[in-house]
Structure 1
Amino acid sequence: PSCGVHTPEFLKMELPTECGGRAASTPQSLPLLQNSLKRDPPAYFGEFQLQFERLRGLLAVMEQQPQRPVKDLRQLLMFLAHTSPCYSPKVSETPLKTREKKDMTQNDRSGDSPGAFLPLSTSFAFDEDVEKKGVEDRHYSAELAASIQRILTQLSSSLHPQTRQSLLLSLLLLRRKQQLSCLDLLRVSVQLLQANDKSCRQTLFSFVTRDVSKLCLADRMQQSFARLSPELFAMLARPACPLAARLALCCLIQVYRQQRHSGGLSIHQNSKNFKKIVNAAAACTLAGDTKLATSAALFLLGELQSASSHIANVEDNESDDEEDAAVEAEAKRLTRSQEGVSKKTASAKKKLKRAKAKLQRQVARKQQRAEQQQLLGGVVASASIIDLLFDPQGLAEKLFGRVKGQSDRFSSRLIFLNLLSRLIGHHKLLLFNFYPFIQKYLQPHQRLVSSLLAILATAVHELVPPQELLPIVKHIADVFINETRGEEVITVGINA
Structure 2
Amino acid sequence: MVKSRVSRGMLLTNNLPQLQNLVKRDPVAYKEEFLVQYNHYQSLLRLQTVAPVAGASTQKDNKSTELFADLINFVSQTAQCYPVETKELPAQLSALLLGTGGIMAVKGDLRETAVKNLIMLRNKDVIDSIQLLQTLLPLLPHAGKELRSTIRKTILTDLKVSNQKSKNHRLNRVVQGLLFNIIEAGMGAEVVGNKGKGKGKEVGGEAIWAVMMVRELWRKGVWTDAKTVSIAALAAFHPNTKVQSAAIHFFLGSETDDGKEDDTTDEEDAFREARRNIKGMEHRGGVNKKTGKRRREMITANKNANRKRKQKEAAVGNNANFPALELLHDPQTFGEKMYDNLNRHDKQYSLEHKVLIMQLLSRVMGVHKLCVLGFYTYVIKYLTYHQLQVTLILVSLAQSVHDLTPPDVLTPVIRKIAQEFVHPGVGAEVIAAGINAIREVCRRQPWCMEEDLLGDLIEYKKSKDKGVATASGGLLQLFREVNPGMLKRRDRGKAAAMGLVNGQVAAYGRTQEGADGIEGLELLEEHWAQQRKEANGGLSDDEGGDIDEEDEGGWDNWDVESDTGSESSGWNDVISDDEDLVISDSEDEDGKPKTKKKLGRKAQAAADAAMDAEDDVEMADNDDDDAKSVVSVATTATSEAKKMSLLAQQKILTPADFALLNELRLKAAREAAEQGGGTAAKRKLAQLEAAKRSSSNDEQSRFLTEDEILGARKRTKQNYEERMESIRKGREGREKFGSAKGRKTGTPSSTTNREKKRNKPLMMAVHSNSVVQKKKASLRDKQIRLRAAIDKQKKMKH
TM-score by length of 1: 0.69
Structure 1 segment 39-438 matched on structure 2, within 5 A: 39-66=25-52, 67-68=55-56, 69=62, 70-88=65-83, 138-140=84-86, 142-154=87-99, 159-189=106-136, 191-193=138-140, 195=142, 197-239=144-186, 242=204, 245-259=207-221, 274-303=225-254, 305-306=255-256, 315=263, 327-337=275-285, 339-341=287-289, 348-349=291-292, 351-361=293-303, 377-379=318-320, 381-382=321-322, 384-404=323-343, 405-406=345-346, 407-438=348-379
Cα deviation, 1:412-438, whole Å, max 9, x if unaligned, reads 332221110011111111112212322
Q: Considering fraction of residues, name the structure with more helix.
A: 1
In 1, are the aligned partners of 2:207 and 2:243 still within 8 Å (CA)? yes
Partner of 1:117: none
SS, match of residue 19 in structure 2:
helix
Select the structure with the greater relative contact order (CA < 8 A; seq sep ≥ 6): 1
Please give the alpha-carbon distance, in whole angstroms, between the structure 2 residues aligned to 1:172 and 1:314.
26
Q: Give the counterpart letter for 1:390 in structure 2.
A: H
Cα deviation, 1:411-464, whole Å, max 9, x if unaligned, reads 333222111001111111111221232233334444433322222111011112
Q: Give the counterpart letter for 2:13 in structure 1.
A: S
Partner of 1:460: 401
Q: Give the counterpart letter for 2:121 in structure 1.
A: L
In 2, are the aligned partners of 1:302 and 1:385 still within 8 Å (CA)? no
Sort the Cα spacing of 1:427 and 1:215 in 2 relative to 1 into closer, same or farther, 3 A: same
Please give the alpha-carbon distance, in whole angstroms, between the structure 2 residues aligned to 1:355 and 1:478.
51
Please give the alpha-carbon distance, in whole angstroms, between the structure 2 residues aligned to 1:314 and 1:38.
44
Q: Give the counterpart letter for 2:374 in structure 1.
A: N
Please give the alpha-carbon distance, in whole angstroms, between the structure 2 residues aligned to 1:337 and 1:355.
10
Q: 1:472 aligns with which of 397, 404, 413?
A: 413
SS, match of residue 72 in structure 1:
helix
Partner of 2:686: none
Partner of 2:492: none
Please give the alpha-carbon distance, in whole angstroms, between the structure 2 residues aligned to 1:180 and 1:475.
64
In 2, are the aligned partners of 1:34 and 1:79 still within 8 Å (CA)? yes
In 2, are the aligned partners of 1:334 and 1:352 still within 8 Å (CA)? no
Q: Give the counterpart letter for 1:353 in structure 2.
A: R
Say which is worse superposed, 75-84 or 151-160, in terms of deviation: 151-160
In 2, are the aligned partners of 1:190 and 1:244 still within 8 Å (CA)? no
In 2, are the aligned partners of 1:403 and 1:413 still within 8 Å (CA)? yes
TM-score by length of 2: 0.45
Please give the alpha-carbon distance, in whole angstroms, between the structure 2 residues aligned to 1:217 and 1:317.
23
Please give the alpha-carbon distance, in whole angstroms, between the structure 1 residues aligned to 2:390 and 2:265.
23
Please give the alpha-carbon distance, in whole angstroms, between the structure 1 residues aligned to 2:70 and 2:417.
68
Please give the alpha-carbon distance, in whole angstroms, between the structure 1 residues aligned to 2:104 and 2:274.
33
SS, match of residue 288 in structure 1:
coil
In 2, are the aligned partners of 1:212 and 1:251 still within 8 Å (CA)? no
Query: Unmatched 5+ residue regions in structure 1?
Result: 4-10, 16-20, 89-137, 262-266, 268-273
Give the percent of matched residue pairs that are identical in Structure 1 and Structure 2: 27
Cα deviation, 1:235-260, whole Å, max 9, x if unaligned, reads 33222884664444444444444447
Please give the alpha-carbon distance, in whole angstroms, between the structure 2 residues aligned to 1:205 and 1:337.
39
Shift of 1:328: 4.5
In 1, are the aligned partners of 2:141 and 2:209 still within 8 Å (CA)? no
Please give the alpha-carbon distance, in whole angstroms, between the structure 1 residues aligned to 2:247 and 2:18.
49
- Residue 34 of structure 1 pairs with residue 49 of structure 2: no
In 1, are the aligned partners of 2:180 and 2:231 still within 8 Å (CA)? yes
Cα deviation, 1:383-431, whole Å, max 9, x if unaligned, reads x222222211111111111122133333333222111001111111111
- Residue 25 of structure 1 pairs with residue 20 of structure 2: no
Please give the alpha-carbon distance, in whole angstroms, between the structure 1 residues aligned to 2:382 and 2:303.
30
Query: Unmatched 5+ residue regions in structure 2?
Result: 57-61, 188-202, 438-798
Please give the alpha-carbon distance, in whole angstroms, between the structure 2 residues aligned to 1:492 and 1:362.
34
SS, match of residue 181 in structure 2:
helix
Partner of 2:392: 451
Shift of 1:371: 9.4
Cα deviation, 1:344-398, whole Å, max 9, x if unaligned, reads 6xxx32x333333345556767888999999x9334x42x222222211111111
Cα deviation, 1:288-345, whole Å, max 9, x if unaligned, reads 1223222222223344x558x989x67489997986675355323343256433xx6x
Sort the Cα spacing of 1:364 and 1:476 in 2 relative to 1 into closer, same or farther, 3 A: farther
In 2, are the aligned partners of 1:285 and 1:293 still within 8 Å (CA)? yes
Sort the Cα spacing of 1:298 and 1:422 in 2 relative to 1 into closer, same or farther, 3 A: same
Sort the Cα spacing of 1:285 and 1:357 in 2 relative to 1 into closer, same or farther, 3 A: same
Q: Give the counterpart letter for 2:296 in structure 1.
A: R
Report which of the two structures shows the higher radius of gyration computed on alpha carbons: 2
Please give the alpha-carbon distance, in whole angstroms, between the structure 1 residues aligned to 2:81 and 2:352.
53
Sort the Cα spacing of 1:317 and 1:256 in 2 relative to 1 into closer, same or farther, 3 A: closer
Cα deviation, 1:248-292, whole Å, max 9, x if unaligned, reads 44444444444479xxxxx7xxxxxx1222223212211112232
Please give the alpha-carbon distance, in whole angstroms, between the structure 1 residues aligned to 2:162 and 2:182.
18
Sort the Cα spacing of 1:325 and 1:480 in 2 relative to 1 into closer, same or farther, 3 A: farther
Please give the alpha-carbon distance, in whole angstroms, between the structure 1 residues aligned to 2:161 and 2:228.
17
In 2, are the aligned partners of 1:213 and 1:251 still within 8 Å (CA)? no
Shift of 1:35: 3.7
Please give the alpha-carbon distance, in whole angstroms, between the structure 1 residues aligned to 2:77 and 2:212.
29
In 2, are the aligned partners of 1:481 and 1:490 still within 8 Å (CA)? yes
In 1, are the aligned partners of 2:366 and 2:400 still within 8 Å (CA)? yes
Q: Give the counterpart letter for 1:281 in structure 2.
A: A
Sort the Cα spacing of 1:151 and 1:371 in 2 relative to 1 into closer, same or farther, 3 A: closer
Please give the alpha-carbon distance, in whole angstroms, between the structure 1 residues aligned to 2:172 and 2:265.
31
Please give the alpha-carbon distance, in whole angstroms, between the structure 2 residues aligned to 1:326 and 1:310.
13
In 1, are the aligned partners of 2:179 and 2:231 still within 8 Å (CA)? no
Please give the alpha-carbon distance, in whole angstroms, between the structure 1 residues aligned to 2:328 and 2:301.
43
RMSD, aligned CA: 4.0
Partner of 2:427: 486
